[in-house]
Amino acid sequence: MSDVDLQAEQYEKCREAGEILAQVRDEAAERVEIGASHLELAEWAEDRIRELGGEPAFPVNISIDEEAAHATPSRDDDATFGEEMVNLDIGVHVDGWLADTAVTVDLSGQDDLAAASEEALDAALDIAGPGVDVGEIGAAVEDVIEGYGFNPVVNLTGHGLGHWEQHTAPNIPNREVQQGAVLATGDVVAIEPFATDGGGKVQEGADEEIFALEREGNVRNRQARQVLDQISEEFRTLPFAARWLDSSRAEMALRRLQQQDIVHGYPVLKEQDGYYVSQKEHTVIITEDGCEVTTRSR
C-alpha cells in the first residue's frame, strides 16, 4: 500500500480532528481537580470540540479508579472528583473521520501506575509502522507495564478507526500475541495501553450511559421514533450519551429501542473494586517510514 496518498482529503480530516482533540484533551486535563464536577467537565469538553470545528466522536469518558471504559456522566450527575485516578478518553470527528485519545490525571498519588501506561504507549509508537505485526506492539506494551510491576488489561485493545466507525480492524493488543494483523501504510489506528494493579481483566458493570445504533428499524412508539430519528441524523453509527437526547422521556425510549435490538448499550467496564486502572492513548496514521501521531500536543 505504499502508493496510498496520505495527503488525500480523508487524512487531512483525520489530522484536523487530531489537532482539535489534542487541544481539548490538554485543556480538559487541566480542569480535573478535587471538587470539580464530572458533568460540567464532560459538557465543557464536548462544547469545546464543537467550538473548534469538530464534533464529539463519542461521549467524553470519565473513568474513576477501577473503571476502565464507557463511563460518562448522566443527565443529572452530581459526582465530583476526589483523591482518585481519573482517565479522560475523548474522541473527535470531522465529517466522520476520527481521532481518539486518552490521558490519566492522577489525583490519588499513584504516579507509577500512570507512568506505566504512558511509557508503554511511547514504546508502542516507537515500533509502529508498515509491516509491523500488532503482536509485537502488544509485546512492547506488556513488557513496559510488567516492568513497573503492574499488569496490562488484556481484554481491552487498541483499534482501527474507520469512516463513521469508532472500532474497526485491526485490534491492537496490550500483550504479546502470536501472528496478529500486520499494519500497512495508510492505516489509521488508536493505540491505547491500559495498566492496572489488579488482575488485568475488566468486567461489565451495571451502569450504562453510552449507546449506539445497531440497525435501522420501525418503532410504533412516538417518543422512541423521535429519539431514533435524532440518533440516525446526528450520531449515525457513532456512540452517543443518553444525556445528548432531546426527548424528555429519552430513557424510556432508549429501553424500547434496546428491547428491539435497534440500539445497544455499552456497560461501564471495570477492574475489581479496590484496584486502579491507568490509560494513555494516541491516534496514528501509519506512514511509509513509521507513524504520524495526529493527537500529539501542539
Catalytic residues: 89, 100, 159, 167, 192, 281
**To which residue does cell 517510514 refer?**
289
Q: Which is nearest to 17 in space by CA: 194, 232, 168, 161?
A: 161
Rounded CA separation 116/110 (Å): 10
Could you tell me which residues come within 8 angstroms of residue 67 by beta carbon, excluding any fewer than 6 positions away? 87, 205, 268, 269, 270, 271, 277
In DSSP notation, 7-36 reads TSHHHHHHHHHHHHHHHHHHHHHHT--TT-
Torsion over CA: 107, 112, 117, 121 (sign): positive
CB count within 10 Å of CB 265 equals: 18
CB count within 10 Å of CB 206 equals: 7
Rounded CA separation 183/280 (Å): 20
CB contact at 8 A, 34 and 82: yes
